[in-house]
Amino acid sequence: MITPAPDDRSVTIVGAGLAGAQTCAELRRCGFTGRITLVGDEPDPPYDRPPLSKGAVGEDTGDLGFDFEALEVDFRPDATAVGLAGASIEADQPLRVMVAEGQPAAADAVVVASGAAPIVPATWQLTDRVRVLRSRRDAIALHEMLSAGTVSSLLVVGGSWIGLEVGSLAAASGIDVTVVERAAWLLPQLPPEVGRRVHGWCGAAGIDVVLGLPVDGVGDRAVAPEVDGTPVWVEVGDSRMSADAVLIALGVRPNTGWLQESGLPLVPGTGALRVDQWMTTADPRVFGVGDAVARWSPKYSKLLPGGHWQDAMDAPTVAAKSVLAALESTAPRPDPYDAVPYFWSEMFGHMLQWTGYLSDYRAARLVVREADDAAGWTMCWLDDRDRLCALLACDRPRDAVAARKAQAAAENGAPWADVEALADPQRPLKSCLTAARGE
């Protein structure tokens, strides 16, 4: 039961994932007493996605546990936003969120938190045996398929995070896994040295890796019965690779189709909603958080894509304060959000943690921290002035924590490194970095 809010200002948040739910909670934490409407197109209350590709699957997996009644949030599940009217730089028209089969919701401010969806080429058809993984329902269906005993081989199209995490789990459960990746190495968004290590893990787990081959199409005999052979296949040039099931894991695209006519600037190519360091769009009453957005980073002078949990978790604090500043002339503008990019992954029994930003690995110097007698290693990428731009820690969480802290403290996100000390895996990383030379 929603009790009436003591003031009549209203905020509508589109997308009931981590970023949307966090924004609701942060608005209340900042003292916002107006109406909050949370529009989400899934039937479930907000849940966390990372566990879904790491072996945890079930109706309650990752429940985020937001109490919308206590927060006095009007949560509307199964409701899809299909458009946003009134957005403009002048901010002189009322904002309205159009909802499929519902009345448009007028709002004084709108927060876009509609996340991202798996990329599936238009001619590829998803079926019972050709699947993607984004939602809890996807995870349950994928798990049921892989554990039913009817799938003994899995083709993973795309050798990046989700594909490799699922591939590593499937291989561990005895399924023959083949990963097909268009690029020349696995995890192609990272430098090739990382992909080579992960390739080694795949080999040890019995996974076949096919590199440098773009998949042109995917087929399922259930929808193309004239084709003989195993149930599903992928087309690679003139040839076919067959298996019992396919996972399409080509990355994600921001869910911003519903903003296409809004006039708000979307990033060409990715379609991400462009926000500044206050998570504000071109219309000062419209904000964006999480996977749906690309945020301007003064630290790196770059527009950084979303796509990782940490941003979805942390940026809503600033977005909520920005909403308040837009609605209340007395509310101060918050400090900008300019976090150092951070994400993690778990695969083949290893924990990988990335921190920092690397514009071109070819121009960076790589230092590897690795002891002969330990399984973990850390790759550090330095610029030409010996500053630590980015780091990937494998089973060395202390390195990741120390680098993150030092990067956050350095003005441009790249603390100075004592290269000789850095190369010694026994030296605490903290003692190898300084925010400014001479400190």
Ligand X SMILES: Cc1cc2nc3c(=O)[nH]c(=O)nc-3n(C[C@H](O)[C@H](O)[C@H](O)COP(=O)(O)OP(=O)(O)OC[C@H]3O[C@@H](n4cnc5c(N)ncnc54)[C@H](O)[C@@H]3O)c2cc1C
User: How many residues would you count in the chain?
Assistant: 439
Q: Measured from the CB of residue 432, what is the shortest distance to ligand X in angstroms? A: 25
Q: Measured from the CB of residue 190, what is the shortest distance to ligand X in angstroms? A: 14
Residues contributing to the site for ligand X (CB under 6 A):
14-20, 39-42, 49-50, 52-53, 80-81, 113-116, 133-134, 162, 255, 258, 290-292, 307-310, 312, 343-345
Q: Rounded distance, CA 353 to CA 396, Å?
A: 9
The nearer residue to ligand X, 164 or 324, going by C-beta atoms, is: 164
Q: What's the farthest any 2 CA atoms get from each other in the chain? A: 72
Q: Measured from the CB of residue 292, what is the shortest distance to ligand X in angstroms? A: 6
The nearer residue to ligand X, 219 or 290, going by C-beta atoms, is: 290
Q: Rounded distance, CA 318 to CA 64, Å?
A: 20
In the sheet that holds 239-243, the strands lie side by side as 217-220, 232-236, 239-243
361: number of Cβ within 10 Å: 16
Q: Measured from the CB of residue 33, what is the shortest distance to ligand X in angstroms? A: 24
The neighbouring-strand residues paired with 393 are 353, 378
Assess contact for 6 and 103: CB atoms under 8 A.
no
Q: Measured from the CB of residue 107, what is the shortest distance to ligand X in angstroms? A: 14
407: number of Cβ within 10 Å: 27
The nearer residue to ligand X, 115 or 425, going by C-beta atoms, is: 115
The nearer residue to ligand X, 99 or 414, going by C-beta atoms, is: 99
Q: Rounded distance, CA 177 to CA 209, Å?
A: 9
What type of residue sits at position 242? S
Q: Measured from the CB of residue 176, what is the shortest distance to ligand X in angstroms? A: 22
Helix, strand or coil, per DSSP, at residue 296: strand
Q: Rounded distance, CA 394 to CA 432, Å?
A: 18
Question: DSSP letters along 308-370, please?
Answer: SHHHHHHHHHHHHHHHHHHH-TTSPPPPP--PPPEEEEEETTEEEEEEE--S-GGGSEEEEEE
Q: Measured from the CB of residue 148, what is the shortest distance to ligand X in angstroms? A: 20
Assess contact for 211 and 181: CB atoms under 8 A.
yes
Q: Measured from the CB of residue 431, what is the shortest distance to ligand X in angstroms? A: 28
The nearer residue to ligand X, 15 or 231, going by C-beta atoms, is: 15
The nearer residue to ligand X, 267 or 419, going by C-beta atoms, is: 267
The nearer residue to ligand X, 15 or 167, going by C-beta atoms, is: 15
Q: Measured from the CB of residue 99, what is the shortest distance to ligand X in angstroms? A: 8
Assess contact for 23 and 313: CB atoms under 8 A.
no
Q: Measured from the CB of residue 428, what is the shortest distance to ligand X in angstroms? A: 25
The nearer residue to ligand X, 142 or 422, going by C-beta atoms, is: 142
Q: Measured from the CB of residue 358, what is the shortest distance to ligand X in angstroms? A: 17
The nearer residue to ligand X, 219 or 306, going by C-beta atoms, is: 306
In the sheet that holds 109-112, the strands lie side by side as 73-76, 35-39, 10-14, 109-112, 286-288
CA angle (56 as vertex; 53, 59 as ends), nearest 5: 110
Helix, strand or coil, per DSSP, at residue 214: coil
Dihedral, CA of residue 251, residue 173, residue 48 and residue 402, to nearest 10: -80
The nearer residue to ligand X, 61 or 127, going by C-beta atoms, is: 61
Q: Rounded distance, CA 313 to CA 321, Å?
A: 15
The nearer residue to ligand X, 219 or 413, going by C-beta atoms, is: 413
